[in-house]
Amino acid sequence: MPQPKPILIIGAGGVGNVVVRKCAQRPDVFGEIVLASRTKSKCDAIAADLGDPRVRTARVDADKVPELVALIRDAKPAMVLNIALPYQDLTIMDACLETGVHYLDTANYEPPDVAHFEYSWQWAYRERFAKAGIMALLGCGFDPGVTGVFTAYARKHYFDELHYLDIIDCNAGDHGKAFATNFNPEINIREITQQGRYWQNGQWVETAPLEIHRPVEYPEVGPRESYLLFHEELESLVANFPSLKRARFWMTFGQEYITHLRVLQNVGMTSIKPVNYNGMEIQPLQFLKAVLPEPSTLGEGYSGKTSIGCQIRGVKDGRERTYFVYNNCDHAECYRETKAQGVSYTTGVPASIGAALMLQNTWMKPGVWNVEQFDPDPFMAELMVRGLPWHEQIDQPLAFADVLENQR
């Protein structure tokens, strides 16, 4: 029997809270858990509530490689789960290289001073990780994460070639606040206010922010207006499934959310360009984050469901076929289990599954990898029993049966 292995989790926000609790539920896989973050009191609060003697806490500024290296040498984890922010991806990867431990994250690197994210910075670590004999698993949340596993599962079991992929992400929940983001506000708003982009016939097509939208029917939720965004898994999925002729990502937003966002944008509050205020440089978006509710505080009283899935068209044995695979997740049930809302939960559960598969050597290959590059079956099996059961519809009509090429 393999021994449980110690891990280091960095980040104690909405998602970090779920990851710690889900890992603590599996003492057969995870041994001592060190939970570290910039604000140690948040780690302490989670650990106290959990009351598990295997969880201890620490303070770390993950922007600083020497601090990370010292913490890793002290905690001696088998792997680091980066559940802080995308800004810390490279420093944490550097520290993993220096100490020879495996790495996992849920969002790709983004430089703090440019609202731009892509995998190139992290893919550039491939050779160094491979040479060091350690593994990095990138984007192991829900989207990115489960959406990549869903796509790989579809390819493995139902298609010879994938042609059209539409990832549809609906949060039909209600947290009762006038305006709040379900994950880190800074990262969330940077993602939504940038240009839209989708893959078509071998190239990226750009759109204005939230320019293309249409109602989409979500299972058990009904029709919701869905907006075309660029989302990071599109970049790795079109690289790993080159037969894709088109790949798009859609997300729902309520009218209230869009109105708040438009006003905040119009008055300059979503800008990342520093402004001088009373002799101090401040970034409007960072200030906005400071006054918005933290994602980890939204869980109590949150009602409704998330519904996220992949709609795929392609061919099998020369015949066209359609496939839809999705998960629906209930905010209130997530809160009962982990004191978190559904968006934190749907991100944290896959991170804990990915980490377990790595430590069990089921998904273990030195180098830097995206989730769709591994066998999807063990991950899909784990989703079923760890709180994110999925459903599939084969050869049923899809929302995107009509090809939208002519829409613009």
Rounded distance between C-alpha atoms, residue 268 and residue 247, angstroms: 32
Interacting residues with ligand NDP between 94 and 123 (CB under 6 A): 106-107
Stretch that binds ligand NDP, among 7-15, 239-247, 322-330, 363-371 (CB under 6 A): 7-15
Is the CB of 85 or the CB of 313 nearer to ligand NDP? 85
Residue 187 interacts with ligand NDP (CB under 6 A): yes or no: yes
Give me the least distance between CB of 91 and ligand NDP, in Å please.
Answer: 8
Is the CB of 147 or the CB of 311 nearer to ligand NDP? 147
Residue 16 interacts with ligand NDP (CB under 6 A): yes or no: yes
Rounded distance between C-alpha atoms, residue 117 and residue 121, angstroms: 9
Residue 379 interacts with ligand NDP (CB under 6 A): yes or no: no
Q: How many residues make contact with ligand NDP (CB under 6 A)? A: 36
278-314 burial: b if 16+ Cβ within 10 Å, else e: eeeeebbbeebbeebeebbebbeebebbbbbbbbbbb
Beta strands in 132-244 (DSSP E): 135-138, 161-171, 196-200, 203-207, 213-218, 222-229
Residues 6+ apart with CB under 8 A from 217: 223, 399
Exposed/middle/buried for residue 225 (C-beta within 10 Å: 0-12, 13-18, 19+)? middle
Which of 3, 28, 39 is closest to 16 using CA atoms? 39
| Cβ atoms within 10 Å, residue 181 | 24
x-or-dash string of contact with ligand NDP, 330-359, rule CB under 6 A: -------------xx--x------------
Exactly one of 7, 9, 22, 88 binds ligand NDP (CB under 6 A); which one?
A: 88
Interacting residues with ligand NDP between 162 and 181 (CB under 6 A): none
Residue 39 interacts with ligand NDP (CB under 6 A): yes or no: yes
Amino acid letter, residue 405: E
Tokens 């929302």 locate to 399
Rounded distance between C-alpha atoms, residue 297 and residue 300, angstroms: 7
Residue 42 interacts with ligand NDP (CB under 6 A): yes or no: yes
* Residue number closest to ligand NDP, CB atom: 13
Residue 198 interacts with ligand NDP (CB under 6 A): yes or no: no
38 three-class SS: coil
Exactly one of 6, 77, 144, 148 binds ligand NDP (CB under 6 A); which one?
A: 144
Interacting residues with ligand NDP between 246 and 305 (CB under 6 A): 294-296
Rounded distance between C-alpha atoms, residue 236 and residue 126, angstroms: 14
What is the enclosing helix (H) or strand (E) of 282?
A: strand 280-282
Residue 392 interacts with ligand NDP (CB under 6 A): yes or no: no
Exposed/middle/buried for residue 133 (C-beta within 10 Å: 0-12, 13-18, 19+)? exposed
Is the CB of 85 or the CB of 162 nearer to ligand NDP? 85
Stretch that binds ligand NDP, among 23-31, 37-45, 210-218, 271-279 (CB under 6 A): 37-45
Tokens coding 93? 């990867």
x-or-dash string of contact with ligand NDP, 46-85, rule CB under 6 A: --------------xxxx-------------------xxx
Give me the least distance between CB of 184 and ligand NDP, in Å please.
Answer: 4
Is the CB of 105 or the CB of 159 nearer to ligand NDP? 105
Judged by the rule CB under 6 A, the positions of this chain that interact with ligand NDP are: 10-16, 37-39, 42, 60-63, 83-86, 88, 106-107, 141-145, 183-184, 187, 294-296, 343-344, 347
